[in-house]
Structure 1
């Protein structure tokens, strides 16, 4: 179940949107001057924004026309900011950015710090929604330059904290929100506390700390009910429902989702209502009512399209595609996933496009269209690589900045120390000698400790590098054999088998590349990779053998972790050297718990060893790499890890390996 996105405080400024305020503004506008009428119309748009969107749009257009007729530049610029906020509500973030940027020159020339802060704050919101966190953070920092009160500072702390949530920096996000809460408590700003509690709930939700999240959602809900702030009230209902859905308490989840729906219908909040319908659809799908789920997903899509909410349209199409995939209605599934892909491309939402392509690959593969599935897989991989590259560039830039900052701090610290030493030389010459001697001894001791720690870290780093190098050696060893098989299928002009083989081969390559970066992976992941590898080998050997993978009951396959890529070389030996030319072959793999670690066993019913055949001193590359890696792990964990050379009988071979593990 998807959590409603972290609330950005800039979207909820109008916390006092009550009928009394609206009535008061309508009464005041009757006797106001021409320019004041424009300002009052803008305030009315804020008030109607969440309760009557059509009314808000109509009033904004009147304000825009009036401001231009009066040549009221400040009014024109304020209309642009408000139009940008409304575009944000609709998910048209590019248009919103254009509005905020076009409003800024006037406020900069007039030195209107309040509206400069508002423009930059909302720019940060738009960039955040587009996934451009760097530009978002820059905009928020610009906004901080123009903040003149504690409330504005606390609001920006929440928005920056929201970015930290998206970046996965949850400790920093928590710290920002706690600081904001202190400010709101000091100035007794209940609306700010309401939103801060909501965001804190989101932070704990992301950490799967559901009890803590539920605590803050209920605090936020109580404040929202007391202040009559229905938008935040409905968001809390949705988030509480999401937690209950995660806990599979579907009836309770439906109660909260429908409570949110009732509020959103009363407010005319069509975007929020679309999210509620989507969540209700997911719950009804879990309860097995596919017809009701389809109806809610269609309602959700219709509302997102009505409000031109691009991100919502993309995801609603994807949910419908998933539903029709489950119903094996592949034509409809393809239709909706293709809409999702087109919308993501048009909106420039790279992460959404990658996720849609990944799901489309699954749909086309399930329908038997392997060639098209392979094309989608290739495009998804290209996008994934570009995202990975950009993230690495950003990470390097951040590290460079941190390094330069630390370097300057160190230089300042060194200058300060030199100044202190000079002062001591002038005033305390006799004492200085003793201080120097003591300092020298301390430095020697610190140097020795530093050397020992550096030596240990170096040894550990060398061990890690050697481990990675040995794991990477396995990739070309297997890739060569796999590509030879692909070549064979192509030469035989067997297109369907070639595409099927390439699809599985691509998935296996991704697993091997991902696992080769990790020191430990779960037994479940290792078994999944072995299953994929063995299925490829079955294709290669025309299903001349079967296999089984057994994990002992006392091993928690999801949480017990072992070093990756140890089993594959043993399995490869069993297939290549044991089962070649054997009909009805069988490879049995088992993971068992022992006092020394995890016992990995690989056996086959192949040819075994003929006692009349002389042995040679040849040792396979896979076996050599396995022994070398075991030696490195033994040094690292100070344990005696054992590898039993294959025991060969008249029929069959058994190889065992004891691996380190951690939970």
Structure 2
């Protein structure tokens, strides 16, 4: 064929591809428009989720959010459709997990658990818990993942939900395999295998046979491991599951390598290479080249090993597999070292470290991006709830106005007689409303100040290059952010919510300060935390002040105690620390040129003053006492916050 003919054919194929893509896009959005025209009810939420699942590949390939899921959530929030919301959040979480966005996936699956529990649908609850467990396992949060899967197993066993029992049992086995509890893992894999065989699930049988092989390999029972790997291979071949076949070949290669049977190990690794060539994801090809190169290096065949390692690098560079490049250059460095080429070995190791740093940077960037996405999602959800709340208020207002118009005629005489009292009452209400607006304004200053300090902490923590602890810190911070966004929508919140957010804040500060202090929160007397109401974020600034102006400068172990007592309609909260005291703290501030009072303290003092004016009471004040030891030296600070409180009942 001539060059012109080839170009014409390529142009024709490109045109056809674009035409098909345009047709797919038109079909997808036409379906979305059709669903939008349906009446807003729970069946529409279910239909949006179902269509979103079928169209997910279309949106994933274009790297855009699935509008079916987004509209299902928006409508579900308006209708308070807990079942639809749990299903939608589960699907979005799975989509995010498939893109390795594990922080986002866990956030969505935790929301799914919340709404699933509202439905009391045990199958949906178990499914949601298993999803959250898988997210935690992908982030190496094994203890948290174990808890999710164990809860899922308990719920699934209660209703004999075989599918979720199998998933939870296999997942618990994998966690135990990772933590080298091979006997426990073996028991769980054997139980899961029996369930999958009874259910005639070929894929589940193949997976659990392979897992049992890994457990025996961990127990150094290599012959038994090989037997189960071969059984798993047979089931994968029966199902024509290419990925499973490649995994079994690699496992057999590693097992024979453990037995020092290098020829047989090489035979299986070569088979894995051939099979991996049929898989779309070429990372498996790069991995096979790397495994063969490492095996040849063990056999002292340095030149052949070098060729396979170079092939792994070439494939990885072409497709951009940074992790494989890191491992391949590390193996290449060992290869050069064995050959006595030390300068090349150092150069290869430098490249491996460059890719390692690049991977860490990407993970940190991705984690921050996911945190921003979580914030945006929560903000939008809150906007939807507020709009729905405003709509209900307007409807009630309309009904009230209609009643008022009819009632006005009958009570006109009474209003004239009582006009003086009405005007007086109205003026008092206007004054109280003005004070409430001032209080809200001060509260809105409090939250940005707190969030700014927390974000500064996260920025510093991530730059410490401690990936696992940074991820844990970010996860806790996202939970605290959600709690703050929820709590600050209300003038009053329950005491248990205030203490829960305070405890989470203290855990974060303790991590940030490398555990230089311990804390204790206690309640005095018989207090029902859920019935006592108080303004949100009222205690935190004094706790923050105790930590950063007292405890961080303490040479020994810092102790922070928070004691809450309720007497009648008054609550007292005592915050005591064994820090350096206010005098030394002011001296340190003066040396550093810092202002005397923090923004958080000023705002909170303003809030307490407004609370005192609104309630026309003296039972709203703060007392600060400098503590001294028997020798008269500063021994910390005690802050007593006294506030009027409300009760639900």
- TM-score, scaled relative to structure 2: 0.48
Query: Could you tell me the TM-score, scaled by structure 1's length?
Result: 0.47
